[in-house]
Structure 1
Amino acid sequence: MSDNLMRPASLPTWGQRTALRLLNLLGWKMYFKPLPGPHGIAVVYPHTSNWDFPIGLLGKWAVGLQFRWLAKDSLFRGVMGKVMRYWGGIAVDRSAPMGATRQLAQDMLATKWCWVAITPEGTRGYRPHWKSGFYHLALTADVPLLLVSLDYKKKELRVTDHLRLSGDVEADMAAIRAVYADTHALHPEDAAPIELAKRDNTDRRADKRAEPERRRA
């Protein structure tokens, strides 16, 4: 892990060095490994505090990569909406059908470089499972996951773990849980269990069973 520790002196631009120094002044260390390709989904966990956003934004500026990120459309109204878009935000209508996932996947792959950050809990408050949007999007676009950890106990922002989904929900979620096993939220009682809703598991298995039929058709 120490080989992946980011230090201001090693960064090429003044903006990156400044962002990392601010993180360090807040007591945070940041670890980073090169991404496994030009397209992918960055899963950010846990998300239990408003502090997650500035910590994550400083991390984005420190690595110097143009990560995009998804957030509910209500956050993009008025003047602040322009700021959010400038920072890489993409407004999402949570009531939209799965067609929106296919469109986002197409938009990602149509660009030379696109990594989209998603908080699968969907809220800072407690919920009993993760939202499945990140999973469907990664499979639809056939891109890897980057598992970003915000560890408030160790004050570590880790951008080092990559995973390629298999389509087996239970196995994939077990692999994700293993990465986050020792990660501590600012408010642990609000961190969602790392699992999808049971209906999401059932829907994914049904989709996999239907694949041979679609190929034969």
Structure 2
Amino acid sequence: MKKLLGSLMLFVMGWKFKNEVPVYELRKCVLICAPHTSNWDLYYCLASFWCLKIPYKVMIKDAYTKPWYGFFFKAIGCLGVDRSQWNNLVQYSSELIKNSESMALINTPEATRSRSLKWKKGFYYIAKQANVPIALAYADYKNKVTGVSKIINIGDKPIEEVFDQIEIFYKPEMAKYPENYNPKIY
């Protein structure tokens, strides 16, 4: 049902779904979504994940999951995160992935829809600790295409090498608001 709904959501908005990664590689991964400059990014990314039919969890501010309407965000797979406190989210998140038969943990490392000077690095450490790859998802507003395009296996790669690979992939012109995306992520 979700696959049909995801396809319908994209069709209504005039978007296309494109997946360049074998689905089995997305069964356990940290899936980053960028550029993140609009709340609409969630809409397009969820539609594409529903098209893929993969189990996922999305980390969002707990301000969205605590109020009366929080049930909606929880129902679509969101995990509320209190960013004002140290919660050992890397350990918690990597355990979630390790203990799941199949789960893509979705993360927006820019951590804001405004221009960010650099990305949060937690997604890298989550993937490293869980021993899973990082998948690059996107919502390309210029071409009206969303999907997953690349897998990065971390292994023993240093964080700089991984970030260099990611930096090459994402472009400001993909963003809904290109002026809010900083192509220099670290």
| TM-score (normalizing by structure 2) | 0.89
Q: Name the structure with the higher helix share.
A: 1
**1:175 Cα offset (Å):** 0.9
- CA 1:158–1:183: 2 relative to 1, 3 Å: farther
Flag structure 1 segments of 5+ consecutive residues without an equivalent: 1-13, 197-217
Question: RCO greater where, 1 or 2, for CA within 8 Å and sep 6 or more?
Answer: 2
**Paired positions, count:** 183
CA distance in 2, matches of 1:145, 1:49: 22
Q: Could you state the TM-score of these two structures normalised by the residue count of structure 1? A: 0.77
Q: What pairs up with 1:32-71 in 2 under 5 angstroms?
A: 32=19, 33=21, 34-36=23-25, 38-71=27-60
Partner of 2:11: 24
Kindly, what percent of the aligned residue pairs are identical? 26
Question: Out of 84, 103, 108, which is 1:119 matched to?
Answer: 108
- Contact in 1 for aligned 2:29/2:132 (Cα 8 Å): yes
Q: Does 1:176 align with 2:151?
A: no
Provide the rounded CA distance (Å) in 2 between the counterparts of 1:125 and 1:182: 13
The reply on whether 1:192 has 2:179 as its aligned counterpart is no
SS of alignment partner, residue 44 of structure 1:
strand
Equivalent residue runs for 1:22-171 within 5 Å: 22-32=9-19, 33=21, 34-36=23-25, 38-97=27-86, 99-165=88-154, 166-171=156-161
SS of 2:143's partner is coil
Structure 1 CA distance for aligned equivalents of residues 62 and 118 of structure 2: 22
Residues 162 and 73 (structure 1 numbering): CA distance in 2 closer, same or farther, change over 3 Å? same
Pick closer, same or farther for the CA change 1:149–1:35 going to 2, 3 Å.
Answer: farther
Change in Cα spacing, 1:38 to 1:53, as seen in structure 2 (3 Å) is: closer
Q: Note the alpha carbon deviations across 1:144-184, whole angstroms, 9 max, x for none.
A: 01100111101110213111124412211111122224851
User: Could you say what the CA RMSD is over the residues aligned between the two structures, in angstroms?
Assistant: 1.9
Instruction: Check 1:61–1:104 CA distance in 2 against 1; reply closer, same or farther (3 A cut).
Output: same
Moved more, 61-70 or 140-149: 61-70
Q: Write the letter of the residue equivalent to 1:40.
A: C
SS in 1 for 2:174: coil
